[in-house]
Amino acid sequence: MQVWHMNGAGNDFAVIDARKKQYDFAKLSLKLCKEFGADGFMAIDDSDIADFKLHFYNADGSRGEMCGNGARCICRFAYEHHVAGESMAVETDAGLVYGQRLDEIQYRVQLNLPDVLDLARKEDCAYVELGNPGVPHAVKAVTGLNWEQREELRKMAKSLRYDTAFPKGANVNLYDWISEEEIRILTYERGVEDYTLACGTGSASTAVVLWKSGQMKKNDIAIHNPGGVLKVSLQTDGKEIRGVFLEGPTEVTEIRETAYLL
């Protein structure tokens, strides 16, 4: 089996082509994420409604609804395996996602619209799900946030991840403003059970919260993750969000042959 180790702004994945094959994805995700030290596992499969289907699993073997950086990486994987062209449609558990190759490294995806959006789900913590079923995200401002505070903030982040206000659990996105068009973010991810270097749906969910709460001056925002900068662009009609786009770098860090029994 050929496995690609890829990352999007540091958010890394073990990726395979599973078309015409039968695998136990949950077991495979545990094996490969441990072997590669990856945040998640992805496989492409045949689809009747899109160019291909994305199977996404977290490092703990749980299936995820979708992954923004994963979607950008899987679009590059599909393009370089001649599964799709420069524009493509991806079937995910959260609905169809549309991808675009911008250049050799940069990829953009149109994420699912927010199906659930509650700006005050828990005190000063908002809640967002992109898609239906959507990836659950809690969004909370932390004044003076810097990434060196990760251990200091771990107890709070872990507590919010399991808080009963979020029945599905939640990825926890802590943020602070850098300028009127930039924020810094730190995400504690469900399924990884730790901080990750970047979270695409977390970055997009945070942008959605900021726009809906009237804090964004424009419809584009640069989001500084520990692993790199992601750009989120929103299409709006003045009152509602009509499109959510995530753009950023992708990287192939290793291609390895590994054994796996069917």
* Per-residue model confidence (pLDDT) at position 132: 85
DSSP tag of 47: -
73-102 burial: b if 16+ Cβ within 10 Å, else e: bbbbbbbeeebbeeebebbbbbbebbbbbe
The Cα diameter of the chain in Å comes to 53
Strand 52-58 and strand 87-92: the pairing is: parallel
The dihedral built from the CA positions of residue 46, 47, 51 and 53, taken in this order, carries a sign that is negative
* Per-residue model confidence (pLDDT) at position 224: 98
For the question of residue 73 being annotated catalytic, the response is no
* Per-residue model confidence (pLDDT) at position 19: 96
* Per-residue model confidence (pLDDT) at position 238: 81
Strand 125-131 and strand 228-236: the pairing is: unpaired
Catalytic residue (one of 67, 73, 75, 125): 67
pLDDT in tens, the chain (262 residues): 999 999 999 999 999 999 999 999 999 999 999 999 999 999 999 999 999 999 999 999 999 988 999 999 999 999 999 999 999 999 999 899 999 999 999 999 999 999 999 999 988 899 999 988 888 999 999 999 999 999 999 999 999 999 999 989 999 999 999 999 999 999 999 999 999 999 999 999 999 999 999 999 899 999 999 999 999 999 999 889 999 999 999 999 999 998 876 5
Catalytic residue (one of 33, 73, 125, 199): 199
Q: Say how far apart CA 244 and CA 76 lie, in whole Å.
A: 19
* Per-residue model confidence (pLDDT) at position 133: 82
For the question of residue 75 being annotated catalytic, the response is no
> Based on C-alpha coordinates, what's the Rg of the chain?
17
| Model confidence, pTM | 0.93
